[in-house]
């Protein structure tokens, strides 16, 4: 299977299925809704994959209770309650609540029966053809990695070629760690690199300036409070290495400098350049 120009192993595809449709998934509700729908919230800690699949960081704070339901528990709810529950997830900003209209041509008209007929949630029973589903979901809103088009890889940044065109082993690895790993920091590509260690590395191993057409220029985007929000690394000949987010769905990929600039353009952010010096 190839996604965004990147080979995906059967093992990774199997893990994607588990991350998109775990055996139990979180449903966010108010205290009143939990009581009305006879749900039993608990305070378990979500996994990093849960956090990104369900966009937990974006959920409306008024939905302060979390009920973890398996497919059987969900199906045992009266359909009217299932409909209200699924509709509430979409309203509160939870991720992985796709539209029936989009997916019924692939999954069948019975999808309308799961909840309110307009929105649904993923269960493994819907993933009998995981390639068709995951290819669509992981590719959504992302351009492909263009690593196959690179003709000359930078010798002073040996790990760029190794990292380019790869998916992470889960959620967490982000743009900061990708840039640091490509610049020689061992293991940085496997962790959720926070702003502080990235800023320390930037201060100790780069200097301001750099050119877009040569390897080793770190692009750093900051918000109006000067907090670093994103980073990418030039690899020469107009190409860049970057990872769009910390999600398991986003790969470390090669794009053109112009493509990365356009994709990262955000109101209030400003771009600065740093040259890796050691």
Domain ranges of the chain: 22-126, 147-276
Average pLDDT, stretch 86-105? 97
Of 123, 148, 143, 119, nearest to 133 by C-alpha is 123
Per residue in 157-185, pLDDT tens?
A: 999 999 999 999 999 999 999 999 999 99
User: Is the per-residue pLDDT at 278 higher than 80?
Assistant: no
pTM greater than the 0.85 cutoff: yes
Average pLDDT, stretch 107-134? 95
Using the CB atoms, write b or e for 179-214: b if 16+ within 10 Å: bbbbbebeebbeeebeeeebeebbeebbeeebeeee
Tell me the percentage of the chain whose pLDDT exceeds 90: 97
Q: Which residues contact 31 (CB under 8 A, 6 or more apart)?
A: 64, 65
Per residue in 42-74, pLDDT tens?
A: 989 999 999 999 999 999 999 999 999 999 999
Using the CB atoms, write b or e for 55-74: b if 16+ within 10 Å: ebeebeeebebbbbbebeeb
**130-139 vs 10-20: helix axis angle to the nearest 10?**
80
Per residue in 204-249, pLDDT tens?
A: 999 999 999 999 999 999 999 999 999 999 999 999 999 999 999 9
- pLDDT interval class at 262 (50, 70, 90): very high
Average pLDDT, stretch 93-108? 96
- pLDDT interval class at 140 (50, 70, 90): confident
Nearest-angstrom CA–CA distance, 188 and 179: 8
State residue 187's pLDDT score: 96
Question: Topology of 147-276 in CATH?
Answer: endopeptidase fold (from Nostoc punctiforme) (3.90.1720)
């Amino acid at each position: 299977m190839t996604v965004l120009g990147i080979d995906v192993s059967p093992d990774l595809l199997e893990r994607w299925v588990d991350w998109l449709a775990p055996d139990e998934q979180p449903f966010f509700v108010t205290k009143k809704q939990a009581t009305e729908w006879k749900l039993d919230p608990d305070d378990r800690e979500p996994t990093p994959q849960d956090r990104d699949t369900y966009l937990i960081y974006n959920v409306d704070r008024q939905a302060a209770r979390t009920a973890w339901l398996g497919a059987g528990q969900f199906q045992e709810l009266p359909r009217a309650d299932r409909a209200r529950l699924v509709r509430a997830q979409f309203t509160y900003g939870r991720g992985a609540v796709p539209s029936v209209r989009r997916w019924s041509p692939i999954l069948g008209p019975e999808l309308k029966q799961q909840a309110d007929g307009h929105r649904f949630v993923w269960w493994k029973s819907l993933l009998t053809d995981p390639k068709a589903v995951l290819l669509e979901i992981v590719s959504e809103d992302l351009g492909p990695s263009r690593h196959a088009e690179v003709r000359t890889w930078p010798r002073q940044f040996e790990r760029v070629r190794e990292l380019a065109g790869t998916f992470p082993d889960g959620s967490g690895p982000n743009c900061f760690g990708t840039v640091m790993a490509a610049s020689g920091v061992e293991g940085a590509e496997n962790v959720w690199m926070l702003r502080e260690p990235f800023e320390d590395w930037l201060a100790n191993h780069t200097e301001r300036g750099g050119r877009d057409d040569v390897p080793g220029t770190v692009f750093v985007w900051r918000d109006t409070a000067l907090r670093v929000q994103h980073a990418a690394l030039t690899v020469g000949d107009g190409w860049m290495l970057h990872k769009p987010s910390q999600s398991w769905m986003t790969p470390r990929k090669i794009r053109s400098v112009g493509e990365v600039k356009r994709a990262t353009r955000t109101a209030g952010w400003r771009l600065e350049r740093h040259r890796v010096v050691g």
